[in-house]
Structure 1
């Protein structure tokens, strides 16, 4: 029987999905206490692992003698040394598209929380300061321009929702998507998206080219009062530059779900009222998690059983 390790803290429903899909062919071992680098000794006898946000390094791969498949719960694989996997013949599978709806909805949750100052107003009313609501005037989304950087599966869902709000859409990607022919949707350069958008939302993978894509110079291009949303990867944004821009009022606010260093226990963002923070939960919905797990289990079963025959 194969051995499959689950390197993520999953709930009972998710465990049931894993057991139902892999339990008949593999022993499932749960390693729920690994949050940083996955030690090779923890997976040395495993044929496959189901991986969350923990890191799989070259050292992990070298010491994992039996490992054949890594199933990543999500889209980004920047926490995996894919070159080391390639050299050792380990297959890495992820789940593009399965989280798109949930992440896009979370984007708009953050947009509304920032644009309508919801966290500030919640705190105000809990503290009995009703009359101070005048400090927290919001803005409408209707008629505003949203800039989408990265028009993949998540970017397209953001576009769909934005059009429902009556927004105009500018987007930037490696190249223009000729299949997108919609009223109020236009392709533009990165600089143009940043300078013309009231809200900018990031949906690109973290690579050498996108590291600090949004840096001090790029932030200066944004409108005063603009809102930046990041549900992609923390290091796509220069956090120091963003903090300074928010502190100095160069932009209006930010909604952030991802960080350069995770888990996040303290950060200077905590001092700011014009930032709404969530703990990397963009795709953390029942529906998205079920789809992601089902696909990962299917891919692992395929590579372990069918591709070995």
Structure 2
């Protein structure tokens, strides 16, 4: 009988599901790390919420562990790369607390607009400061939505019911989907200039970190109200405090912080700042939903091998796995390449399969490619959820198959269509290793590395030397160097594997080199 350790508080109904399905579930909450390390080796599964940290030490001690289930969406407390290396499937429950989190954001909007917390404290202190707490109506105001996925679209629906105007910035929101949910799709600059109130509903990734930076906050309307019930780190907290103090920002309400638990924070004490202790998912209904879901998912996996909402494992049968494995890796890495190269709203994604790979089950391959494309902006997307997320955002996904491949035994090509045009990327598996073989119509042959530099330039003498000199001066070692070009003197690309991640300053210097059109850091 499989054994599961429930290390954080879950609904008794979830415990019952494990036992009814034939899984031995032990409830041991509040364990110290040392206590967890001593017993985790006895278990096949670990069920957690946010308190227990499944870090590299815990995973290393968990010799029999097969699955970690997170009752909730965020997996900041799980070391996914270490779990993946150890062959441990990591699951979450991405949709169980969407309504609850959206309702909390709406509640924060009302609390800000009417200064409810301060008014409550004042009134209960025996004061009657009716003239002090002059609020604003939400009716007729423009709500700026950063992130229009599952939770963001629910917030938009509620805001429209309040007769607010909703504008949304989300690179994955298609124009058709924007019309469907009743919002106006805009670029971030437009949203900052127009919004009376801004609410964030996006994961924390390299692209979204400090999306409300000091620079962007300065572009907002005077008196803007800001709500963050998504993730700490989306807003520059120090810059926001300065703008609260000088009156540019009229108020802010945060449920999440860069460091949690937030016993102290630069925002605390600011006038018209409201803080709650990460309560977005804290309702009886949400706790019950995610607990039941994680129990079902973990039981299915341990008893039958079925994988649902896995963040690091493809959904494939045991028979298909050996043949699909290298192509799943190729599809995801090629998708990640495409996703990191796209800066505008995605309208469609086409995945073409040529040669032997065209004869395989394409569903996990397409799911892997979609997850790769969307993960730079949506860190928590996975192979299971990627097709639904794409559909939710109105992204058209298509597949094509061709039995023959002119050069390679198997080839996968991903074409991403945005509002600005198309970008195409092709790859193949050579000697069991995924490789990039075409970018922008230019042939090359490059292995994927953990960190890579992509440079698009005009093919002129001196470029390679100048690039090498900049990398050397910055102490960045070159691991691989692959080139492609149209012809001499025309468009060219360099794909450079590096041992150290280049900083923003270095990438800026590369962009400033003569004849360079574009330079980016890519991570795989």
Q: TM-score, normalising length from structure 1?
A: 0.92
Distance 1:91 1:183 in 2: 34
Q: Is the 8 A contact 1:37 1:56 kept in 2?
A: no
Structure number with higher strand proportion:
2
Match of residue 96, structure 2, among 89, 98, 114: 98
1:228 aligned residue (226, 229, 244): 226
- 1:168 equivalent in structure 2: 165
2:178–2:185 CA contact under 8 A, matched in 1: no
- Whole-angstrom distance in 2 between the partners of 1:167 and 1:58: 46
Q: Secondary structure at the match of 2:218?
A: helix
Alignment match, 1:49: 46
Q: Deviations over 1:160-192 (max 9, x none)?
A: 100000001111112332223158621111122
Matches within 5 A, 1:5-154: 5-10=5-10, 14=11, 16-24=12-20, 25-34=22-31, 40-54=37-51, 55-130=53-128, 132-154=129-151
- 1:34 offset after TM fit, Å? 4.9
Identify which range, 239-248 or 277-286, moves more after superposition: 239-248
Superposed CA offset, 1:121-177 (max 9, x none): 1011101111x2211100001111111111111001001100000001111112332
Post-superposition shift, 1:286?
Answer: 1.3
Number of residues of Structure 1 aligned to a counterpart in Structure 2: 304
**Superposition deviation, residue 9 in structure 1:** 3.5
What SS does the corresponding residue of 1:49 show, helix, strand or coil? strand
Relative to 1, partners in 2 of residues 1:38 and 1:268: Cα closer, same or farther, differing over 3 Å? farther
Higher relative contact order (CA 8 A, sep 6+): 1
Q: Please state how far the C-alpha of 1:260 moved relative to its aligned partner.
A: 1.2
Corresponding residue SS for 1:252:
strand
Deviation of the 1:231 alpha carbon: 0.8
Rounded Cα–Cα distance in structure 1 between residues aligned with 2:75 and 2:202:
12
Q: Which whole-Å CA distance do the structure 2 matches of 1:167 and 1:262 have between them?
A: 32
**Pair 32,194 (structure 1): closer, same or farther in 2 beyond 3 Å:** farther
Aligned to 2:252, the other structure's residue is in SS state strand
Q: Is the 8 A contact 1:98 1:288 kept in 2?
A: yes
| Deviation (angstroms), 1:19 | 2.0
In the alignment, structure 2 segments of 5+ residues that lack a partner are 307-317, 319-524
Give the Å deviation of 1:84: 1.5
Distance in structure 2 (CA, Å) of the matches to 1:98 and 1:38:
30
How far does the alpha carbon of each residue in 1:13-38 deviate from its partner, in whole angstroms, 9 at most, with x for none? x1x11221012423333342258899
**Could you tell me whether the CA contact under 8 Å between 2:194 and 2:221 is conserved in 1?**
yes
Structure 1 window deviating more from structure 2 (280-289 vs 175-184): it is 175-184
Structure 1 counterpart of 2:2: 2
| Larger radius of gyration between Structure 1 and Structure 2 | 2
Distance 2:209 2:9 in 1: 28
Q: Greater CA deviation, 175-184 or 64-73?
A: 175-184
In structure 1, distance between residues paired with 2:242 and 2:260: 21
List per-residue Cα deviations over 1:232-283 (Å, max 9, x = no partner): 1112222112222212212111111111111122234331231111111111
- Tell me the SS of whatever aligns to 1:135: coil
Indicate which of 202, 205, 209 corresponds to 2:203: 205
* TM-score in terms of structure 2 length: 0.55
Separation in structure 2 between the aligned mates of residue 187 and residue 171 of structure 1, nearest angstrom: 5
Relative distance call for 1:35 and 1:201 in structure 2 (3 A) is: farther
- RMSD of Structure 2 on Structure 1 (CA): 2.1
In structure 1, the gaps of 5 or more residues are none
